Amino acid sequence: MAGNFRTLDDVDVKGQRVLLRVDLNVPMENGHVSDATRLERVAPTINEIATKGGKVILLAHFGRPKGRDAKDSLKPVAAALSQVIKRPVAFADDCIGEPAATAIAAMKDGDVLCLENTRFHKEEEKNDPAFVGELAKLGDIWVNDAFSAAHRAHASTEGLGHKLPAYAGRTMQAELDALDKALGRPAKPVIAIVGGAKVSTKIDLLENLVTKVDALVIGGGMANTFLHAQGVQIGKSLAEKDLAATALRIMEKAESSNCAIILPVDATVSFHFAANSPSFAYGLDAIPPDSMILDVGPQSTARIHSAIDDAATLVWNGPLGAFELTPFDRGTMVAAKHAAERTKAKKLISVAGGGDTVAALNQAGVAGDFSYVSTAGGAFLEWMEGKPLPGVEVLKA
């Protein structure tokens, strides 16, 4: 048992029908998989179970179909998966009933079968007990390897865990271990960097982090709301002025939890929201009324640099500025590269996640140098908010 959840180390899969929940929600262009990252991520678990003689029966959703819809079939994904895992992957046209049962009856030990999109049945998202029962009939054990879907209590992501012996797959295990190192039982001191456009989407996240970390760096558009709340004139910057009281409440909570809040001390501003528009560094007392803050300023960048030096663990979500537009990517790029250097030097455990954050780390060319980068999106954010994830809770012993 790893941590407090069951893994593939706790079960002999030989000869067993293993219902394996995976994330096959890959981007497609013209009927072909355009990015196979998610398939590569689930390959180790599939290969391990197959090599040990288990019958691998893949369960996954694809897209958001309302009922059966050919454009959301998993059939082309199963073909692409076969290329990645270098094994044949059979396909059944339905995830329950006669098509699934017949295909499974034909399996030999070590075979891999992909069942059709679970969301072709509306009962999947309802976690409908009868549907869970239909799925459970098809397997002897359930292995959940889809962390990215673990914030949803659906039939294949949660319900099955109450019907069959439940285990974490290797990808799930790696994600949970990395997250545990970041916020569960981290090496101290811990800092979080939170950026992005808005406070409103990250209130729960900020409220949870201030109780868990030693220092919280706030950047991006959301820092403007905090600066405004403190009386700084922020010109035409993106901000949610109606959330000033929320910002102050978060700062008070941080103070009572002994969490240092690190806000920008200067700003990189521009008069146009456009790439390569002229940029200027200003102190917070001198921001021109018709300008916009588009990045943290040079002194703030230096401050964040030294905060990273002081930390043993870093958790990061959200860019520090409008990183899609040069030169307003600078604060984010400098911090990303520095965190990567510290990680490579074994001075820092660095965990990052969220769509824009992954894009920013890729832009900096350092995603591979972080200790762990989560591509899980919603599930990663809910974890950062401190919420229990149903698909993980059900794996606990």
Q: How far is the CB of 228 from ligand AMP (least distance, A)?
A: 12
Q: Cα separation of 228 and 237, whole Å?
A: 10
The residue among 33 and 351 lying less far from ligand AMP, judged by its C-beta, is 351
Whether 68 sits among the annotated catalytic residues: the reply is no
The residue among 106 and 274 lying less far from ligand AMP, judged by its C-beta, is 274
Cα angle value 69/70/72 (rounded, 5°):
75
Torsion of CA 33, 34, 37, 38, to 10 degrees: -40
Q: How far is CA 247 from the centre of its chain?
A: 25
Q: How far is the CB of 342 from ligand AMP (least distance, A)?
A: 23
Tally of CB atoms within 10 A around 153: 17
Q: How far is the CB of 147 from ligand AMP (least distance, A)?
A: 19
Contact 53, 15 (CB under 8 A): yes
Q: How far is the CB of 375 from ligand AMP (least distance, A)?
A: 14
Non-local CB neighbours of 46 within 8 Å, separated by 6+ positions = 20, 22, 56, 58, 81, 85, 87, 112
Whether 75 sits among the annotated catalytic residues: the reply is no
The residue among 84 and 322 lying less far from ligand AMP, judged by its C-beta, is 322
**Which residue among 21, 38, 55, 330 is the active-site one?**
38
Name the β-bridge partners of 18: 56, 141
Whether 355 sits among the annotated catalytic residues: the reply is yes
3-state SS assignment for residue 294: strand
Q: How far is the CB of 238 from ligand AMP (least distance, A)?
A: 4
The residue among 144 and 270 lying less far from ligand AMP, judged by its C-beta, is 270
Q: How far is the CB of 386 from ligand AMP (least distance, A)?
A: 18
The residue among 159 and 319 lying less far from ligand AMP, judged by its C-beta, is 319
Contact 163, 157 (CB under 8 A): no
Q: How far is the CB of 359 from ligand AMP (least distance, A)?
A: 9
Whether 38 sits among the annotated catalytic residues: the reply is yes
Q: How far is the CB of 196 from ligand AMP (least distance, A)?
A: 3
The residue among 156 and 357 lying less far from ligand AMP, judged by its C-beta, is 357
The residue among 195 and 390 lying less far from ligand AMP, judged by its C-beta, is 195
Query: Given the rule CB under 6 A, which residues bind ligand AMP?
Result: 195-198, 201, 220-221, 238, 293-294, 318-319, 321-324, 356
- Closest residue to ligand AMP using C-beta atoms: 196
The residue among 142 and 323 lying less far from ligand AMP, judged by its C-beta, is 323
Exposed (0-12), middle (13-18) or buried (19+): which is 386, by Cβ within 10 Å?
A: middle
Structure token digits, residue 22: 């995976």
Q: State how beta strands 292-296 and 279-283 pair.
A: unpaired
Q: Cα separation of 229 and 245, whole Å?
A: 7
**Which residue among 3, 97, 110, 355 is the active-site one?**
355
Q: Cα separation of 58 and 116, whole Å?
A: 9
Non-local CB neighbours of 239 within 8 Å, separated by 6+ positions = 221, 224, 225, 227, 228
- What are φ and ψ of residue 313, in 5° steps? -135, 140
Tell me which DSSP letter residue 114 carries: E
**Which residue among 53, 97, 377, 378 is the active-site one?**
378
Structure token digits, residue 328: 């307003």
Catalytic residue positions?
38, 198, 355, 378
